[in-house]
Structure 1
Amino acid sequence: MTAHANGPLSSRRPPDDGRAQDAVTAFDAGLSDQERRVLTERVYAANPRTQSEVADLLGLSRERVTQIDRSTRHRLRSLIDADPALAQLSAMINRRAAPVADAAALMADSTLAGTPVGDVEAPCWRVVAAASGLRTSENWIIRGSLRSVAEFTKSAVAAAARPGEVASVVTIADHLGLSGDSAARWLRRVGYELLDDHAIATRSTTGEIVAAALSIRGAPLTFDEIVDATSAIPRAHNSIRNALASDARIVKTDRTRYGLAEWGLPRYEPVHLQIDAILSDRGGAAPLDDVIATIRGRHDVSEATIRAYAGAGEFQIRGGLVTRRERTYRPRRTPGRTRGLYREDDAVHWATTITPAQCRGTGFTIPSALAGLLGIGPGAPISLETPLGPQTFMWASVQARSGSIKRFIDALELTAGAAVFLDFGPGTFAVRRAEHSGASPTAAILTRLGRRPERVGRPRLTRILAESLWLPPESTSDRVVDLLVSRRETDLADRVASALR
């Protein structure tokens, strides 16, 4: 015998298989039609029905089906015990089903196991296993319920895994008493997928799959290498990127590589944060050459990249020294020329669309003109009050960003693609669903600006538009329309031109 219960048989000469087949055939022929139907549905079938299902199918009471089932199994058990070949097959099945046996491996080792018997020509192993009180499911023989054996398998997978590692199929096979090939097929049967011959639960998150791939490879990987390593359990690229950014088990170990936090490798920080830390350690100024050497000594970052960050955004290079920029940030574009940005008294409405990344909780860039209005600049973050708690806006590298607004998205039950207004008031912030009114042309225009719909005449509408676009109050309708066109808001420009005609 091999080490596996489901391995090859010994070379001992088997009893007469032909006589055993004849015995089962004769037994089947001696059954009544009712007994044969019950036996077919409860024993011979690849996926046996429950007693209740058989009762409904045959129009019998459940108690009657139970009686027939017990009686036929008892007689079948007696037949098996009396026949040497069947008895040997039964012993083999009981030995292997501890708690699961692979019928395919069984049939490879025993001619009798795969021999068809009965009118429906069920494989002999299925009949013998059922008569022995074992369950059968497809090509598997199970001792106990499928759920209990699945739980046993789960425990075996856990026992086969070393701390911080993913269990290999070979190791799991030893715990299950199966061959490697049988273990791989059984694992798939009970809800696992295989990643480089290692078992991963089918319902694993993308983060768990990526962490498993890193554990299996045992070294940091690039994004493309991670995609390749997880190709057996494919996930969308955006899902992988999100896992790399949000899963606490995964850290960026270099500019392009990711590893497991438990490895204890130095974590990669964005270049601008590394420069900021260096300046903090050096009293606010450091030679450019030292900054380059320090960062390149930690991570694979090009000198050109470091120079670019050291001379942009919140930093500047003067006389070979890197320092923080002291001048006030000046937006690249004015509010009046920024698409989707509208003023109402001392508030600002930003018309935008919810993105999938925002739904996942990712922060996002805000227009430079809005950053200027809010006073956000290098080293000058702000916090605004909201009904759901403070909302932070900060300077990151060379642009202004907002923290996650997922809590607002969830509260409003928004989905990706939803049109919203982000409202900025004196010290306040809010997110609201964009409601565009079609009650009248004027109402449609006002709601597009983030305002409440109301009935106003043409002069008043022109002044509202001028205020919304940071134009002088006396601006003409033509100037309003021209500005909207330059902002690439042609649909709104057409509405305004029609309303003010």
Structure 2
Amino acid sequence: MGREVRPGYQGARMDGQVNRFPGQGRMTGTEAPVVRSEVDFFLSDLQLLIAWAIRERGAGQIGDLLDSMSGTDSRPAELDHLWRTLRTFELRSLVDLSEVDADLNRSFDDLLAVVEPRRITLFKQRKHEGRTLEQVGRNLGVTRERVRQLEKETERFFEHAVQVRTNFRWFRIRAQDLRAKLGLGAPVGHAATLDAMESALRGLHSGHRWLARILLLECAGPYQTKGDWFALNWSELTDRSDVLACMDANSLTPVSAARQVLVQRGLRPEFFDAWLLSHGRMRRIGTHLVDSGNVVDKCAAMLVVLQRPATAVELVEMVGEGHNSTGVRYRLMEDPRFVRVNKTELALKTWGMDEYEGITQEIWKYILAAGGEATVADIATSIVNRFGVKRTSVALYVQAPMFELQGRRVRIKGGPGPDKPHPEGEGVPAPGLFDVRRGQVNLFVDAEAVRGSGRPCNVELCHALGIEPGQHRRFRFAAGSVHVGWPATSPYPNLGSVRELIRHIGASLGDRVLLEFDSSTGKVEASIQPTDQ
């Protein structure tokens, strides 16, 4: 009669012996065979491994043994083989299978069997189907207050039974596991939440799942269901104060810092993005979070994230709230935190980049730095390289009235002050939208005029109205005024917005409008012209 060795675990061979405790001698033909179970063999090999860990590695706890076997330190080959063999042992052999195969469905059958059917119906309609007190009362023929009483009584009975009955021990363990997976709160429809709930409900029949789900959330927390979230404590889940405490001077919060704060509070990492969307009221841009604030604050935050200059259009698109980029650009240029670094891009002033103040001003600064005079080519090369403007634009602006162009060299006319009025410059032809006679302008109403944009106009209009370089005037009409000016920094005069004027006379896109300016009264009149004129 040989030893009992089951197929699931064959034991390890040490020193030529098979499955023996340390110190056992070899069997002789006269000795009775030793009949040992699969568990006996396992425990024998485990004891040998534990003895080695205590004697040779100074182990004192199970964790020390596991560390010794999982680390990279060298071990005897026989012990490595023994460990690999132990790892193949089936855990089901070590426990009472009745515990493993415990049927929660029977537990729920027993629980529901002692509850009045009407109470079960009432509880299901209220807790699972979400019906109102009035609806349930009407269905069952009782008052709203009686529905409330029966609901509370039934709820207390179910919760008490789950907490104290022995056959619900594994249900309570599943509730604890669910608590670990949901943490402080979890979005109801999140994949991780659904997986956690399904794991807790595994093996339960469909007829029991509705009640099991309610009791799991109660036993695990209790969790409240508010909106799209399960929450242990709603006010704590939605509190942003410790996240906002991580914010820097630019209204930015590092994502890593916010995640660490929330995880320490109990939020599961996999629910971080959902928390930001539902409760954080913050947008994730790269490695930072942007808090609510006005659009200028958000643009400053966007620049910090980008770490480079950007256009107002790009910043507005990043903010993503549908702002008008032109309006935002003006607000940014007025804010002391920003500087314009070229014709279109802005940067934070703290970056220390050269500020672009416009082509005329840059020409003026360059001439002053050069000692009062410089060549057009040198000026253009410097401004083009620093600010990315077009060389042709520089060549145009050196003809502004404030400058004196002598051949290929430029100097400041009348001294270094850019705001000082100067004698008139040569007229620069404006786009063919105007037909100017004395004090009159034939204007074509295009999209720019409807939008309210100003536009260049011919020098002849300023001559007719007595406006010199460095001067401007406003001409009134019944509903407002129109501005005409000739900046000393510009090679040509400007006609301000005529939007209100064309609205006042009922003109629309594509019309031709005659503007008549009266320099003596300071008034302007307008009329729509026939299309054949």
Per the shorter chain, which TM-score range? 0.5 to 0.7
Equivalents in 2 of 1:297, 1:245: separation in Å?
25
Q: Which residue does the alignment assign to 1:380?
A: 471
Partner letter of residue 448 of structure 1? Answer: I
Compute the RMSD of aligned alpha carbons: 5.4
Q: Indicate if the aligned counterparts of 2:192 and 2:270 stay in contact, CA closer than 8 A.
A: no
Is 1:448 equivalent to 2:518 in the alignment?
no
Q: Structure 1 residues 380 and 275, CA, compared in 2 at 3 Å: closer, same or farther?
A: farther
Q: CA shift at 1:167, angstroms?
A: 2.6
1:68-83 map, 5 Å? 68-82=150-164, 83=168
Partner letter of residue 73 of structure 1? Answer: E
Partner letter of residue 155 of structure 1? Answer: S
Q: Which residue does the alignment assign to 2:88?
A: none
Is 1:274 equivalent to 2:362 in the alignment?
yes
Q: Secondary structure at the match of 2:161?
A: helix
Is 1:163 equivalent to 2:258 in the alignment?
no
Q: Which residue does the alignment assign to 2:454?
A: 364
1:198-237 map, 5 Å? 198-200=288-290, 210-221=299-310, 230=318
1:354-433 map, 5 Å? 358=451, 364-365=454-455, 367-368=457-458, 374=465, 378-383=469-474, 393-394=484-485, 395=487, 397-401=490-494
Is 1:195 equivalent to 2:285 in the alignment?
yes
> What per-residue deviation string (whole Å, max 9, x for no partner) do you get for residues 317-366 of structure 1?
2141234573356474799x837x999xx89896847869958xxx5225
Q: Indicate if the aligned counterparts of 2:181 and 2:196 stay in contact, CA closer than 8 A.
A: no
> What per-residue deviation string (whole Å, max 9, x for no partner) do you get for residues 226-245 of structure 1?
68x83xx7576x83454344
Q: Secondary structure at the match of 1:254?
A: coil
> What per-residue deviation string (whole Å, max 9, x for no partner) do you get for residues 188-229 of structure 1?
23455433354446x8776555444322222224678768x8
Q: Structure 1 residues 126 and 397, CA, compared in 2 at 3 Å: closer, same or farther?
A: farther
Partner letter of residue 326 of structure 1? Answer: P
Moved more, 380-389 or 206-215: 380-389
Equivalents in 2 of 1:254, 1:72: separation in Å?
73
Correspondent of 2:397 among 302, 309, 329? 309
Partner letter of residue 271 of structure 2? Answer: S
Specify every segment of 5 or more residues in structure 2 that has no aligned partner in the other structure, as ranges.
Answer: 1-94, 414-421
Q: CA shift at 1:73, angstroms?
A: 3.1
Q: CA shift at 1:126, angstroms?
A: 5.4
Is 1:143 equivalent to 2:232 in the alignment?
yes
Q: CA shift at 1:156, angstroms?
A: 4.5
Q: Which residue does the alignment assign to 2:223?
A: 134
Q: Indicate if the aligned counterparts of 1:384 and 1:392 stay in contact, CA closer than 8 A.
A: yes
Specify every segment of 5 or more residues in structure 1 that has no aligned partner in the other structure, as ranges.
Answer: 1-12, 432-445, 450-483, 494-501
Equivalents in 1 of 2:527, 2:199: separation in Å?
80
**How many residue pairs align between the two structures?**
405
Equivalents in 1 of 2:208, 2:523: separation in Å?
72
Q: Which residue does the alignment assign to 2:169?
A: 84
Q: CA shift at 1:184, angstroms?
A: 0.9
Q: Which residue does the alignment assign to 2:69?
A: none
Q: Secondary structure at the match of 1:66?
A: helix
Q: Indicate if the aligned counterparts of 1:286 and 1:323 stay in contact, CA closer than 8 A.
A: no
Equivalents in 1 of 2:400, 2:364: separation in Å?
12
Q: Which residue does the alignment assign to 2:186?
A: 101
Equivalents in 2 of 1:268, 1:49: separation in Å?
66
Q: Secondary structure at the match of 2:347?
A: strand
Q: CA shift at 1:183, angstroms?
A: 0.6
Equivalents in 1 of 2:110, 2:147: separation in Å?
22
Q: Indicate if the aligned counterparts of 1:168 and 1:198 stay in contact, CA closer than 8 A.
A: yes
Equivalents in 1 of 2:484, 2:135: separation in Å?
62
Q: Which residue does the alignment assign to 1:113?
A: 200
Equivalents in 2 of 1:280, 1:423: separation in Å?
42
Q: Structure 1 residues 305 and 352, CA, compared in 2 at 3 Å: closer, same or farther?
A: closer
Equivalents in 2 of 1:273, 1:64: separation in Å?
83
Q: Which residue does the alignment assign to 2:423?
A: 326
> What per-residue deviation string (whole Å, max 9, x for no partner) do you get for residues 369-400 of structure 1?
76565555642233556899987654374454
1:165-184 map, 5 Å? 166-177=252-263, 178-184=267-273
> What per-residue deviation string (whole Å, max 9, x for no partner) do you get for residues 14-44 of structure 1?
x869645654566567766765566456544
Equivalents in 2 of 1:150, 1:430: separation in Å?
64
> What per-residue deviation string (whole Å, max 9, x for no partner) do you get for residues 416-474 of structure 1?
9899998966565799xxxxxxxxxxxxxx9635xxxxxxxxxxxxxxxxxxxxxxxxx
- Find the structure with the greater CA-based Rg: 2
Q: Secondary structure at the match of 1:167?
A: strand
Q: CA shift at 1:90, angstroms?
A: 4.3
Q: Structure 1 residues 123 and 196, CA, compared in 2 at 3 Å: closer, same or farther?
A: farther
Q: Indicate if the aligned counterparts of 1:43 and 1:130 stay in contact, CA closer than 8 A.
A: no
Equivalents in 1 of 2:380, 2:181: separation in Å?
64
Equivalents in 1 of 2:464, 2:139: separation in Å?
75
Q: Indicate if the aligned counterparts of 2:440 and 2:461 stay in contact, CA closer than 8 A.
A: no
Equivalents in 2 of 1:239, 1:422: separation in Å?
30
Equivalents in 1 of 2:491, 2:429: separation in Å?
12
Equivalents in 1 of 2:369, 2:198: separation in Å?
78
Q: Structure 1 residues 60 and 166, CA, compared in 2 at 3 Å: closer, same or farther?
A: farther
TM-score normalised to structure 2 length? 0.56
Identity %: 18
TM-score normalised to structure 1 length? 0.58
Partner letter of residue 338 of structure 1? Answer: F
Q: Indicate if the aligned counterparts of 1:423 and 1:430 stay in contact, CA closer than 8 A.
A: yes
Q: Structure 1 residues 225 and 136, CA, compared in 2 at 3 Å: closer, same or farther?
A: same
Q: Which residue does the alignment assign to 1:338?
A: 434
Q: Structure 1 residues 37 and 296, CA, compared in 2 at 3 Å: closer, same or farther?
A: farther
Q: Indicate if the aligned counterparts of 1:100 and 1:149 stay in contact, CA closer than 8 A.
A: no
Equivalents in 2 of 1:19, 1:269: separation in Å?
80
Equivalents in 1 of 2:257, 2:211: separation in Å?
30
Correspondent of 1:67 among 119, 143, 149? 149
